[in-house]
Amino acid sequence: MKLKASLSLFILLAISIATFAQKKQTLFNGKDLTGWKIYGTEKWYVEDGLLVCESGPDKEYGYLGTEQKFKDFELTLEFKQEANGNSGVFFHSSIEGTKIAGWQAEVAPPGSSTGGIYESYGRGWLIKPAPEKDKALKMGEWNKMTVKVVGNQVTTYLNGTEMITLNDEKIGGKDGCIALQIHSGGGIKVKWRKIKIKQL
């Protein structure tokens, strides 16, 4: 009887752990930058419940990275580009100063491969979306991006359109933080909201 009870408890515990692991975790609380770290001198702040990145006077690269690391996950977020809007969503990343090692799901103005995957300080562009998929981007409006990473495979979606699927062993061999980017050059402003992740 005790064995049956112990077995039942173990099964319930395993189910609870699995269910918890599949729940979405909110990365941005809409109030402050709790759980994140700023890299560089560019501006990151919260305004009207939104996360805002904006070029500062140095006009250099800047990053906002999670304190937590992730490996297999499905990340969803919404972004709205103002001005230039050249940014990105990094994953499996490590950051020192403003030098980032990892992979970027591109967020950029029309015609600049939003949803493609770029390896910083590495191989550069690994894959770009087909040109006709660029129409999925709504410049100046809210866009929903999904980045799904499972093992060696990365898939990105923009407003429900699958942008790319990439298989890469190097990606599958690492984990790291999620990071948002401000591109260098100045004149950039992007707003973010509903940043959530589900570990897989």
Summarize pLDDT for 18-59 with one digit per residue, the tens: 444 568 999 999 999 999 999 999 999 999 999 999 999 999
Return all residues near 169 (Cβ < 8 A) that are at least 6 apart.
152
State the average pLDDT for the chain: 91
What is the reported pLDDT for 120?
92
Q: Which domains does the chain have, with CATH numbers?
A: 25-199 (2.60.120.560)
Report the chain's C-alpha Rg in angstroms: 18
Return all residues near 41 (Cβ < 8 A) that are at least 6 apart.
56, 57, 58, 60, 62
Mean pLDDT by 10 residues, the chain (200 residues): 52 51 88 97 97 94 97 98 90 95 96 97 96 96 98 98 98 97 92 98
What is the reported pLDDT for 89?
98
What is the reported pLDDT for 19?
47
The number of C-alpha atoms within 13 Å of 57 and in the hemisphere containing its C-beta is 0
Return all residues near 4 (Cβ < 8 A) that are at least 6 apart.
none
In sequence order, which ranges of 26-141 are alpha helices (DSSP H)?
none
Which stretches of the chain are assigned E, i.e. beta strand?
24-26, 36-39, 43-47, 50-54, 62-70, 73-83, 87-96, 99-107, 117-120, 124-127, 142-150, 153-158, 161-167, 176-182, 188-199
What is the reported pLDDT for 84?
81
What token pair was written down for 78?
């919404």
What is the reported pLDDT for 4?
55
| Rounded to 5°, angle at Cα 33 from 121 and 18 | 80
pTM score, two decimals?
Answer: 0.87
